[in-house]
Amino acid sequence: MSSASLTIQRNERNYSYREGRTMEKIAIIGAGIHPFNRYPDKRGINPAMSFQEIGRSAVDKALKHAGISFKEMGAAYCSTMIGPVSAGHSILAPFGLNGMPIVNIENACAGGGTCIRMGVDAIRGGRADVVLALGIDKMPQGFIKMDIWPSWMEKTGQNLTPFGFASRGRRHMALYGTTREQFARVIVKNRKQGVLNPNAMWRTPVTEEEVLNAPMVCEPLTSFMLCSPNEGAAALILCTEAKAKQFTTKPVYVAAAAVGTPIEGSIFGGMALPQMHGITYTDTPYEITTFVSQKAYEEAGIGPHDLDIVELQDTDAASEIIETELLGICEMGEAPRLIDEGVTAFGSSKRPIVNISGGLTCKGEPVGASGLAMIAEIVYQLRGEAGPRQLEGARAGLGHTIGMGGNCSVVIVNR
Amino acid sequence: MSERRKVPVEPGLFDIPASPEEAIYLNGSICAACGRYFFPKVDRCHLCGSQENIRDTKLGRKGKLWTYTNCCYAPPGGGYKGKIPFGLGLVALDEGIIICTRINETDTSKLKVGMEAELMLETLYTDEEGNDVVCFTYDPKK
């Protein structure tokens, strides 16, 4: 191939996730989730609670969890993908405006991770002592309608997210011999775990046969193997270590908050950014999840084998397998075996447990909220507050998202 | 009866050949400095940022199937007017880039990652004026 000799330039200095100038410890003292769900409206939307009301529900829970007053907030970062203009402002006004900056963020699936990253930076930079990170979406049922695709891709039928998910899954099958049954077992695992999570949408177990026999969406993925866009909200309260000690005896800390975008040779990331106009072919694609998670592990000073819990972007069954590998939890091609043997399932003696909350395939995905809800789940687990799904002795967890634009976030929290 | 007029699904992606013997190509770009090909056309190189080194080029006659799927539902937004189900995939072109494309096969049991694939045109649908709306696709060599 004529361009096989292309040298891909990676300018380490310019990447925005380099370590901050100060590494002051940042705590999470409160977490709240407005349960992810779908309603019997024809679009699956709850007509009884507005976008603003579900946002306030999550904020109320996070404030109560922390035992802190809204007046203490020094900044708010609000993530939504399809929400209204000034989303955060309209949610937070009734709490009593105090003049603080409220920043609305649209960063697709990485929006929640981005809120955390920006909150950490604001506190480390001395701009605020306490920050609210908030995410909300009310997403209609069905394929997510987005205007990122150029018109030629819409007209040729390529503007649907499962195209990318199925393509990744098929590639994994070809490279490693992964089977549809193994994809189905991911869903069986997550649905079993979701039964224990009151914040999840699907709270009934499913069998391998039911998953395989569900309607085919994009071969090899059936409808049960794909996560459902739905509605929900999540909020976190971040603050300095000193401030945290005033409010809780069990703070958890943000050990790393890395956010990144694709580089040349990142094929899966490139697919999610159609404006790349083709992706440079390499036999060893350097995927964005690998890239961003390595930065997060360096920043946290811990590796994938030190994690007890991983909440990762299972937009679909194949993605759970692929992202488990790209995060370095196992070698490439090994995740299907981990699924078969239940190594990453709740109840395993091994660590980490993957998607103990049920994951997106079980909770559903209100895109702006999902990344924050992952971290909220880990906060509950690290504080020993997760009830029947509590993982004993959990000390460190990782939340991972990847989505449109090839956006990726990896947040590590520990205690 | 004269043959129906063929119109491209989107201008600029490819040219409709005047005769069946004429070869089909995609219309893309190449950066004269980096050697990186692009499809569709770009006005600056995504590797080096250069605008002055971007040239028009024909590409994409042949490649290898990198991955594939069969899509069984209508995509959102109503922009797609072709038949369902339909094949989609990624093809690694001989020019060294992987592109997203339609695949001329809906029975995935006939497909294999790595198989040769060749550029062709297909009719997506017939518009209100009776024109055949055509699109490029890749035909896997079985």
Is-contact B64 B114, C-beta < 8 A?
Answer: yes
Compute the distance between CA of residue A224 and CA of residue A161 in angstroms, rounded to an integer: 15
For residue B141, the model assigns a pLDDT of: 87
Q: Which residue of B90, B94, B103 to mutate against A (max A Cβ within 10 Å)?
A: B90
pLDDT grade for A97, boundaries at 50, 70 and 90: confident
Compute the distance between CA of residue A86 and CA of residue A88 in angstroms, rounded to an integer: 6
A171 vs B contacts (CB less than 8 Å): 66-67, 113
Give me the DSSP letters along A287-319.
Answer: -HHHHHHHHHHHHHT--GGG-SEEE---SBHHH
For residue B37, the model assigns a pLDDT of: 97
pLDDT digits (tens, 9 = 90+) for A25-75: 999 999 999 999 998 887 888 888 999 999 999 999 999 999 999 999 999
Least confident of A240-249, A270-279, A341-350: A270-279
Question: Distance, in angstroms, between A174 CA and closest chain B CA?
Answer: 6
For residue A20, the model assigns a pLDDT of: 58
pLDDT digits (tens, 9 = 90+) for A200-211: 999 999 999 999
For residue A19, the model assigns a pLDDT of: 55
Is pLDDT above 60 for A16? no
For range A296-324, the mean pLDDT: 97
Is pLDDT above 70 for B10? yes
- Closest-CA residue in chain A for B108? A219
Q: How far is CA A403 from CA A181, A206, A351, in A?
A: 25, 26, 26
Is pLDDT above 80 for A17? no
Structure tokens at B124: 């997506």
A330 Cα distance to chain centroid? 19
Of A53, A31, A93, nearest to A378 by C-alpha is A31
Tell me which amino acid residue A344 is. T
CA angle A341, A345, A351 (to 5 degrees): 95
Q: What average pLDDT does chain A have? A: 93
For residue A120, the model assigns a pLDDT of: 97
For range B81-109, the mean pLDDT: 97
Compute the distance between CA of residue A193 and CA of residue A210 in angstroms, rounded to an integer: 17
CB contact under 8 A, B76 and A143: yes
Is pLDDT above 80 for A4? no
Tell me the whole-structure pTM to 2 decimals: 0.94
- What CATH homologous superfamily does A26-142+232-236 map to? Thiolase/Chalcone synthase (3.40.47.10)
Q: What is the ipTM of this complex?
A: 0.96
Of B50, B8, B10, nearest to B30 by C-alpha is B50
Compute the distance between CA of residue B56 and CA of residue B18 in angstroms, rounded to an integer: 21
Helix axes A317-326, A288-300, angle to 10 degrees: 50
pLDDT digits (tens, 9 = 90+) for B96-132: 999 999 999 999 999 999 999 999 999 999 999 999 9
Is-contact B140 B125, C-beta < 8 A?
Answer: no
Mode of pairing for the β-strands spanning B6-8 and B132-140: parallel
A271 vs B contacts (CB less than 8 Å): 90, 100
| Strand partners for B55 | B30
Sheet containing strand B26-31, edge to edge, reads B37-38, B26-31, B54-59
Structure tokens at B8: 């491209």
Is pLDDT above 90 for A216? yes
Q: What average pLDDT does chain B have? A: 95
pLDDT digits (tens, 9 = 90+) for A376-405: 999 999 999 999 999 999 999 999 999 999
Tell me which amino acid residue A315 is. T
Residue bearing tokens 């991955």: B67
Beta strands in A160-262 (DSSP E): 216-218, 221-222, 231-240, 252-260
pLDDT grade for A283, boundaries at 50, 70 and 90: confident
Q: Give me the total of CB pairs closer than 8 Å, taking one residue from chain A and one from chain B.
A: 158
B13 vs A contacts (CB less than 8 Å): 152
Q: Does residue B9 sit in helix, strand or coil?
A: coil
For residue A275, the model assigns a pLDDT of: 84
Kindly state the DSSP code that residue A388 receives in the 8-state scheme.
G
Q: Which residue of A172, A277, A279, A286 to mutate against B (max B Cβ within 10 Å)?
A: A277
Question: Could you tell me the residue ranges of all domains in chain B?
Answer: 6-11+60-122+132-140
For residue B2, the model assigns a pLDDT of: 57
Query: Which helix H or strand E contains B124, and what residues bound it?
Result: strand B116-126
Structure tokens at A312: 């990762």
Give me the DSSP letters along B42-94.
Answer: -SS-TTT--STTEEEEEE-SEEEEEEEEEE-SPPTTS---S-SSEEEEEEEET
A220: exposed, middle or buried (C-beta count within 10 Å: 0-12, 13-18, 19+)?
buried
CB contact under 8 A, A6 and B79: no
Is-contact A316 A211, C-beta < 8 A?
Answer: no
pLDDT digits (tens, 9 = 90+) for A362-371: 999 999 999 9
CB contact under 8 A, B75 and A158: yes
Instruction: Confirm or reject CATH 2.30.30 for domain B6-11+60-122+132-140, answering yes or no.
Output: no
Tell me which amino acid residue A2 is. S
Is pLDDT above 60 for A3? no
| Strand partners for B122 | B135
Q: Which residue of A155, A176, A273, A316 to mutate against B (max B Cβ within 10 Å)?
A: A155
Question: Distance, in angstroms, between A126 CA and closest chain B CA?
Answer: 36
Structure tokens at A375: 């971290």
Is pLDDT above 80 for A14? no
Q: Which of residues 142-161 of A touch B (CB under 8 A)?
A: 142-145, 150-160
Compute the distance between CA of residue A85 and CA of residue A369 in angstroms, rounded to an integer: 16
Structure tokens at A17: 């996730």
For residue A265, the model assigns a pLDDT of: 82
B124: exposed, middle or buried (C-beta count within 10 Å: 0-12, 13-18, 19+)?
buried
Structure tokens at B126: 């017939």
CA atoms within 13 A on the CB side of A274: 19
**Least CB–CB distance from A3: residue in B29, B95, B108:** B95
Compute the distance between CA of residue A49 and CA of residue B105 in angstroms, rounded to an integer: 45
- Closest-CA residue in chain A for B83? A157
Compute the distance between CA of residue B75 and CA of residue B69 in angstroms, rounded to an integer: 14
Is pLDDT above 80 for A7? no
Structure tokens at A80: 């939504």
For range B33-57, the mean pLDDT: 96
For residue A11, the model assigns a pLDDT of: 44
> How long a stretch of residues is chain A?
415
For residue A274, the model assigns a pLDDT of: 86
Structure tokens at A125: 């930079």
For residue A22, the model assigns a pLDDT of: 67
